[in-house]
Protein backbone atom coordinates (compact mmCIF):
# COMPACT_ATOMS: atom_id res chain seq x y z
CA UNK A 1 0.00 0.00 0.00
CA UNK A 2 1.39 3.45 -0.85
CA UNK A 3 0.76 6.43 1.38
CA UNK A 4 -0.05 9.82 -0.13
CA UNK A 5 0.72 12.94 1.87
CA UNK A 6 -2.44 14.99 2.16
CA UNK A 7 -2.68 18.65 3.10
CA UNK A 8 -5.60 20.36 4.75
CA UNK A 9 -7.98 22.77 3.07
CA UNK A 10 -6.41 25.87 1.53
CA UNK A 11 -7.50 29.44 0.74
CA UNK A 12 -5.71 31.71 -1.72
CA UNK A 13 -5.98 35.51 -1.58
CA UNK A 14 -4.56 38.15 -3.89
CA UNK A 15 -3.84 41.68 -2.63
CA UNK A 16 -2.53 44.65 -4.63
CA UNK A 17 0.36 47.06 -4.18
CA UNK A 18 -0.33 50.79 -4.22
CA UNK A 19 0.94 54.07 -5.54
CA UNK A 20 0.36 57.38 -3.74
CA UNK A 21 -1.04 59.92 -6.22
CA UNK A 22 -0.44 62.59 -3.61
CA UNK A 23 1.15 62.37 -0.19
CA UNK A 24 1.02 65.30 2.23
CA UNK A 25 2.97 64.93 5.46
CA UNK A 26 2.59 67.14 8.54
CA UNK A 27 4.94 67.62 11.49
CA UNK A 28 4.98 64.71 13.93
CA UNK A 29 2.56 64.89 16.87
CA UNK A 30 3.43 64.11 20.52
CA UNK A 31 3.08 60.38 19.72
CA UNK A 32 5.87 60.70 17.11
CA UNK A 33 3.57 59.88 14.19
CA UNK A 34 3.31 62.17 11.18
CA UNK A 35 -0.25 63.09 10.19
CA UNK A 36 -0.89 62.25 6.54
CA UNK A 37 -3.32 63.13 3.83
CA UNK A 38 -2.82 60.88 0.84
CA UNK A 39 -4.64 59.60 -2.22
CA UNK A 40 -3.88 55.91 -2.69
CA UNK A 41 -4.46 53.94 -5.87
CA UNK A 42 -4.28 50.13 -5.88
CA UNK A 43 -2.39 48.81 -8.93
CA UNK A 44 -2.15 45.46 -10.67
CA UNK A 45 1.08 44.26 -9.03
CA UNK A 46 -0.05 41.55 -6.65
CA UNK A 47 0.96 39.55 -3.61
CA UNK A 48 -0.45 36.01 -3.62
CA UNK A 49 -0.99 34.48 -0.20
CA UNK A 50 -2.11 30.87 0.24
CA UNK A 51 -2.96 29.53 3.69
CA UNK A 52 -3.32 25.81 4.39
CA UNK A 53 -4.69 24.24 7.57
CA UNK A 54 -1.88 23.09 9.90
CA UNK A 55 -1.22 22.65 13.62
CA UNK A 56 1.37 25.43 13.84
CA UNK A 57 1.85 28.80 12.12
CA UNK A 58 4.60 28.59 9.48
CA UNK A 59 5.69 31.02 6.77
CA UNK A 60 7.43 30.73 3.40
CA UNK A 61 8.15 33.51 0.91
CA UNK A 62 9.07 33.20 -2.77
CA UNK A 63 9.03 35.54 -5.78
CA UNK A 64 10.64 38.90 -6.51
CA UNK A 65 12.93 40.01 -3.66
CA UNK A 66 11.87 37.15 -1.37
CA UNK A 67 15.38 36.91 0.10
CA UNK A 68 14.94 40.42 1.58
CA UNK A 69 11.81 39.54 3.53
CA UNK A 70 12.12 38.63 7.24
CA UNK A 71 10.67 35.24 8.18
CA UNK A 72 10.56 35.87 11.94
CA UNK A 73 7.81 37.36 14.09
CA UNK A 74 8.37 40.81 12.52
CA UNK A 75 6.88 39.61 9.23
CA UNK A 76 3.63 41.46 8.72
CA UNK A 77 1.79 38.32 7.57
CA UNK A 78 2.70 36.50 10.80
CA UNK A 79 1.75 39.56 12.85
CA UNK A 80 -1.60 39.60 11.05
CA UNK A 81 -2.13 35.90 11.79
CA UNK A 82 -1.38 36.36 15.50
CA UNK A 83 -3.62 39.44 15.71
CA UNK A 84 -6.53 37.60 14.09
CA UNK A 85 -6.08 34.49 16.26
CA UNK A 86 -6.08 36.63 19.38
CA UNK A 87 -9.10 38.73 18.36
CA UNK A 88 -11.15 35.68 17.34
CA UNK A 89 -9.95 33.47 20.21
CA UNK A 90 -8.69 30.85 17.77
CA UNK A 91 -6.00 28.32 18.74
CA UNK A 92 -5.13 26.94 15.32
CA UNK A 93 -2.21 27.11 12.93
CA UNK A 94 -1.70 27.45 9.17
CA UNK A 95 1.06 27.25 6.60
CA UNK A 96 1.25 30.72 5.04
CA UNK A 97 2.85 30.84 1.58
CA UNK A 98 3.56 34.25 0.07
CA UNK A 99 4.47 34.81 -3.58
CA UNK A 100 5.75 38.36 -3.92
CA UNK A 101 4.87 40.48 -6.95
CA UNK A 102 5.24 43.90 -5.29
CA UNK A 103 8.81 45.22 -4.91
CA UNK A 104 10.17 44.78 -1.35
CA UNK A 105 10.84 48.03 0.56
CA UNK A 106 9.77 49.89 -2.59
CA UNK A 107 7.17 52.29 -1.18
CA UNK A 108 4.38 50.21 -2.74
CA UNK A 109 3.24 48.51 0.50
CA UNK A 110 3.93 44.88 -0.42
CA UNK A 111 4.25 43.88 3.23
CA UNK A 112 0.95 45.59 4.01
CA UNK A 113 -0.66 43.69 1.12
CA UNK A 114 0.63 40.44 2.69
CA UNK A 115 -0.92 41.40 6.02
CA UNK A 116 -4.28 42.26 4.43
CA UNK A 117 -4.29 39.06 2.35
CA UNK A 118 -3.43 36.96 5.41
CA UNK A 119 -6.31 38.48 7.40
CA UNK A 120 -8.81 37.68 4.63
CA UNK A 121 -7.39 34.19 3.99
CA UNK A 122 -7.25 33.09 7.62
CA UNK A 123 -10.66 34.58 8.37
CA UNK A 124 -11.99 32.20 5.69
CA UNK A 125 -9.81 29.20 6.63
CA UNK A 126 -10.51 29.44 10.36
CA UNK A 127 -14.15 30.48 9.87
CA UNK A 128 -13.72 33.37 12.28
CA UNK A 129 -16.48 35.29 10.48
CA UNK A 130 -15.23 38.78 11.31
CA UNK A 131 -17.06 41.62 9.59
CA UNK A 132 -15.25 43.83 7.07
CA UNK A 133 -15.19 46.61 9.70
CA UNK A 134 -13.63 44.29 12.27
CA UNK A 135 -10.97 43.19 9.77
CA UNK A 136 -10.30 46.85 8.90
CA UNK A 137 -9.90 47.62 12.59
CA UNK A 138 -7.36 44.80 12.97
CA UNK A 139 -5.62 45.98 9.79
CA UNK A 140 -5.21 49.52 11.18
CA UNK A 141 -3.39 48.10 14.20
CA UNK A 142 -0.86 46.40 11.92
CA UNK A 143 0.27 49.38 9.82
CA UNK A 144 -0.69 52.58 8.02
CA UNK A 145 -1.14 50.97 4.60
CA UNK A 146 -2.88 47.73 5.64
CA UNK A 147 -6.51 49.01 5.65
CA UNK A 148 -6.00 50.36 2.12
CA UNK A 149 -4.66 46.99 0.92
CA UNK A 150 -7.93 45.46 2.18
CA UNK A 151 -10.01 48.19 0.57
CA UNK A 152 -8.23 48.67 -2.78
CA UNK A 153 -9.50 50.89 -5.63
CA UNK A 154 -8.69 54.60 -5.07
CA UNK A 155 -9.18 56.27 -1.69
CA UNK A 156 -8.16 59.25 0.39
CA UNK A 157 -6.32 58.24 3.56
CA UNK A 158 -6.06 60.59 6.55
CA UNK A 159 -4.64 60.42 10.07
CA UNK A 160 -1.96 57.75 9.88
CA UNK A 161 -3.39 56.84 6.47
CA UNK A 162 -5.81 54.35 8.00
CA UNK A 163 -9.05 56.39 7.83
CA UNK A 164 -10.23 55.87 4.26
CA UNK A 165 -12.76 57.63 2.05
CA UNK A 166 -13.36 56.12 -1.41
CA UNK A 167 -12.59 58.43 -4.35
CA UNK A 168 -14.71 58.67 -7.47
CA UNK A 169 -12.74 57.51 -10.50
CA UNK A 170 -13.58 57.14 -14.18
CA UNK A 171 -11.63 54.69 -16.33
CA UNK A 172 -8.24 53.09 -15.94
CA UNK A 173 -4.81 54.65 -15.44
CA UNK A 174 -1.63 53.12 -16.83
CA UNK A 175 1.70 53.17 -15.03
CA UNK A 176 5.34 52.27 -15.61
CA UNK A 177 7.21 51.66 -12.36
CA UNK A 178 11.00 52.00 -12.17
CA UNK A 179 12.35 49.65 -9.49
CA UNK A 180 15.62 50.22 -7.66
CA UNK A 181 17.87 47.34 -6.64
CA UNK A 182 18.15 48.61 -3.07
CA UNK A 183 15.05 49.60 -1.10
CA UNK A 184 14.63 52.50 1.31
CA UNK A 185 13.61 52.20 4.94
CA UNK A 186 10.37 54.10 5.59
CA UNK A 187 11.50 55.34 9.06
CA UNK A 188 14.79 56.62 7.54
CA UNK A 189 12.88 58.61 4.92
CA UNK A 190 10.60 60.18 7.55
CA UNK A 191 13.69 61.04 9.65
CA UNK A 192 15.28 62.75 6.66
CA UNK A 193 12.00 64.58 6.02
CA UNK A 194 12.14 65.94 9.61
CA UNK A 195 15.82 66.93 9.24
CA UNK A 196 14.99 68.85 6.09
CA UNK A 197 12.17 70.66 7.92
CA UNK A 198 14.80 71.75 10.50
CA UNK A 199 12.31 71.79 13.36
CA UNK A 200 9.96 74.15 11.55
CA UNK A 201 6.30 73.16 11.71
CA UNK A 202 5.21 71.62 8.42
CA UNK A 203 1.56 72.29 7.69
CA UNK A 204 -0.46 69.81 5.68
CA UNK A 205 -0.84 71.41 2.25
CA UNK A 206 -3.75 69.83 0.42
CA UNK A 207 -4.26 72.32 -2.39
CA UNK A 208 -3.13 69.96 -5.15
CA UNK A 209 -5.65 67.31 -4.07
CA UNK A 210 -8.46 69.31 -5.63
CA UNK A 211 -6.72 68.72 -8.95
CA UNK A 212 -6.03 65.04 -8.21
CA UNK A 213 -9.69 64.43 -7.39
CA UNK A 214 -10.94 66.37 -10.45
CA UNK A 215 -8.55 64.45 -12.74
CA UNK A 216 -9.72 61.12 -11.28
CA UNK A 217 -13.39 62.03 -11.69
CA UNK A 218 -12.79 63.09 -15.29
CA UNK A 219 -10.62 60.05 -16.07
CA UNK A 220 -8.03 62.55 -17.37
CA UNK A 221 -4.48 61.11 -17.16
CA UNK A 222 -2.81 64.29 -18.49
CA UNK A 223 -4.38 66.33 -15.69
CA UNK A 224 -3.57 63.66 -13.10
CA UNK A 225 0.04 63.62 -14.32
CA UNK A 226 0.33 67.35 -13.58
CA UNK A 227 -1.19 66.92 -10.11
CA UNK A 228 0.98 64.07 -8.76
CA UNK A 229 2.88 65.12 -5.62
CA UNK A 230 4.80 63.63 -2.72
CA UNK A 231 6.13 65.56 0.31
CA UNK A 232 8.59 62.68 0.96
CA UNK A 233 10.16 62.82 -2.50
CA UNK A 234 13.05 65.19 -1.69
CA UNK A 235 13.92 63.15 1.42
CA UNK A 236 13.92 59.94 -0.64
CA UNK A 237 16.17 61.55 -3.28
CA UNK A 238 18.56 62.74 -0.54
CA UNK A 239 18.95 59.13 0.64
CA UNK A 240 19.08 57.67 -2.88
CA UNK A 241 20.54 60.42 -5.12
CA UNK A 242 20.40 58.22 -8.24
CA UNK A 243 16.60 58.66 -8.10
CA UNK A 244 17.03 62.15 -9.59
CA UNK A 245 18.27 60.47 -12.81
CA UNK A 246 15.38 57.98 -12.75
CA UNK A 247 12.84 60.81 -12.39
CA UNK A 248 14.49 62.72 -15.28
CA UNK A 249 14.59 59.62 -17.49
CA UNK A 250 10.88 58.96 -16.94
CA UNK A 251 10.06 62.57 -17.82
CA UNK A 252 12.27 62.46 -20.94
CA UNK A 253 10.56 59.21 -21.94
CA UNK A 254 7.30 61.18 -22.24
CA UNK A 255 5.52 60.33 -18.98
CA UNK A 256 2.47 62.53 -18.24
CA UNK A 257 3.72 62.89 -14.68
CA UNK A 258 6.39 61.32 -12.50
CA UNK A 259 6.51 60.84 -8.73
CA UNK A 260 8.29 58.75 -6.11
CA UNK A 261 5.78 56.27 -4.67
CA UNK A 262 5.28 56.62 -0.90
CA UNK A 263 8.63 56.55 0.89
CA UNK A 264 10.32 55.29 -2.29
CA UNK A 265 12.48 54.32 -3.98
CA UNK A 266 10.06 53.10 -6.68
CA UNK A 267 9.42 55.83 -9.27
CA UNK A 268 5.91 55.89 -10.76
CA UNK A 269 5.49 57.25 -14.29
CA UNK A 270 1.95 57.88 -15.55
CA UNK A 271 1.21 56.97 -19.17
CA UNK A 272 -1.58 57.64 -21.69
CA UNK A 273 -2.17 53.95 -22.41
CA UNK A 274 -0.76 50.48 -21.80
CA UNK A 275 1.34 50.81 -24.99
CA UNK A 276 2.68 54.15 -23.79
CA UNK A 277 3.54 52.62 -20.39
CA UNK A 278 5.47 49.82 -22.15
CA UNK A 279 7.38 52.43 -24.20
CA UNK A 280 8.29 54.43 -21.06
CA UNK A 281 9.40 51.25 -19.27
CA UNK A 282 11.54 50.24 -22.27
CA UNK A 283 13.15 53.71 -22.48
CA UNK A 284 13.97 53.77 -18.74
CA UNK A 285 15.53 50.30 -18.92
CA UNK A 286 17.49 51.11 -22.11
CA UNK A 287 18.96 54.17 -20.39
CA UNK A 288 19.94 52.13 -17.32
CA UNK A 289 17.83 54.55 -15.29
CA UNK A 290 16.59 51.76 -13.04
CA UNK A 291 17.24 48.14 -12.18
CA UNK A 292 14.00 46.98 -13.76
CA UNK A 293 10.77 48.56 -15.00
CA UNK A 294 7.32 46.99 -14.77
CA UNK A 295 3.92 48.12 -16.08
CA UNK A 296 0.61 47.99 -14.21
CA UNK A 297 -2.76 49.68 -14.18
CA UNK A 298 -5.18 50.92 -11.57
CA UNK A 299 -7.48 51.10 -9.81
CA UNK A 300 -7.94 47.42 -8.88
CA UNK A 301 -9.78 45.73 -6.03
CA UNK A 302 -8.31 45.11 -2.57
CA UNK A 303 -7.53 41.74 -0.95
CA UNK A 304 -9.88 39.12 -2.44
CA UNK A 305 -10.19 35.35 -2.28
CA UNK A 306 -9.19 33.71 -5.57
CA UNK A 307 -11.89 31.15 -6.37
Question: Would you count residue 267 as binding ligand ATP (CB under 6 A)?
Answer: no
Question: Would you count residue 145 as binding ligand ATP (CB under 6 A)?
Answer: yes
Question: Would you count residue 262 as binding ligand ATP (CB under 6 A)?
Answer: yes
Residue range at the interface with ligand ATP (CB under 6 A); choices 72-80, 128-136, 155-163, 234-242: 72-80
Residue 109 annotated as lining a ligand binding site: yes
Question: Would you count residue 112 as binding ligand ATP (CB under 6 A)?
Answer: yes
Question: Would you count residue 119 as binding ligand ATP (CB under 6 A)?
Answer: no
Question: Would you count residue 229 as binding ligand ATP (CB under 6 A)?
Answer: no
Question: Would you count residue 73 as binding ligand ATP (CB under 6 A)?
Answer: no
Q: Which residues contact 32 (CB under 8 A, 6 or more apart)?
A: none
Residue 284 annotated as lining a ligand binding site: no
Q: Which is nearer to ligand ATP, 84 or 109 (CB)?
A: 109
Closest by CA position to 119, among listed 86, 91, 144, 72: 86
From the list 70, 127, 141, 171, which residue makes contact with ligand ATP (rule: CB under 6 A)? Answer: 70
Catalytic annotation present for 100: no
Tell the burial category of 272 from Cβ atoms under 10 Å away from its Cβ (0-12, 13-18, 19+). Answer: middle
The CA-atom distances, in angstroms, between 296 and each of 100, 269, 275, 293 are: 15, 10, 11, 10
Which residue of the chain is nearest ligand ATP when measured via CB? 111
Q: Which is nearer to ligand ATP, 76 or 283 (CB)?
A: 76
- Give the three-class secondary structure for 153: coil
Per-residue exposure over 150-176, b if at least 16 CB sit within 10 Å of its own CB, e if not: bbbbbbbbbebbbebeebebeeebbbb
What is the nearest approach in angstroms of ligand ATP to the Cβ of residue 218?
A: 29
Question: Would you count residue 109 as binding ligand ATP (CB under 6 A)?
Answer: yes
Q: Say if CB 122 and CB 94 are below 8 A apart.
A: yes
Residue 103 annotated as lining a ligand binding site: yes
Residue range at the interface with ligand ATP (CB under 6 A); choices 81-89, 99-107, 152-160, 165-173: 99-107
> How many residues of this chain bind ligand ATP (CB under 6 A)?
21
What is the nearest approach in angstroms of ligand ATP to the Cβ of residue 214?
A: 27
The CA-atom distances, in angstroms, between 172 and each of 164, 240, 268 are: 20, 31, 15
Question: Would you count residue 50 as binding ligand ATP (CB under 6 A)?
Answer: no
Half-sphere exposure of 251 (CA within 13 A, CB side): 11
Catalytic annotation present for 18: yes
34: left (phi over 0), alpha (psi -120 to 50) or beta: beta
What is the nearest approach in angstroms of ligand ATP to the Cβ of residue 75?
A: 4
* CA pair distance 119, 125, nearest whole angstrom: 10
Residue 174, φ and ψ in degrees, nearest 5 = -110, 135
Tell the burial category of 182 from Cβ atoms under 10 Å away from its Cβ (0-12, 13-18, 19+). Answer: exposed
Q: Which is nearer to ligand ATP, 74 or 275 (CB)?
A: 74
What is the nearest approach in angstroms of ligand ATP to the Cβ of residue 5?
A: 27
Instruction: By CB under 6 A, name the binding residues for ligand ATP.
Output: 69-70, 74-77, 104-112, 114, 145, 183, 186, 262-263
Q: Which residues are annotated as a binding site for ATP?
A: 103-113
Query: Annotated catalytic sites, by residue?
Result: 18, 145
Amino acid sequence: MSSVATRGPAVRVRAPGKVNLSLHVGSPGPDGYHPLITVFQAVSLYEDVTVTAADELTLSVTGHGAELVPLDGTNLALRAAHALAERAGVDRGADIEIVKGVPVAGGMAGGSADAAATLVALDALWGTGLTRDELTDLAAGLGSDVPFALHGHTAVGTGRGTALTPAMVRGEFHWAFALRAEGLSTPDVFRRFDERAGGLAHELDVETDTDVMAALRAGDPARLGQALSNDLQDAAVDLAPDLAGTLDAATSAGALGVVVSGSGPTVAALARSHQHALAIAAAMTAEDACEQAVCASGPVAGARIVP
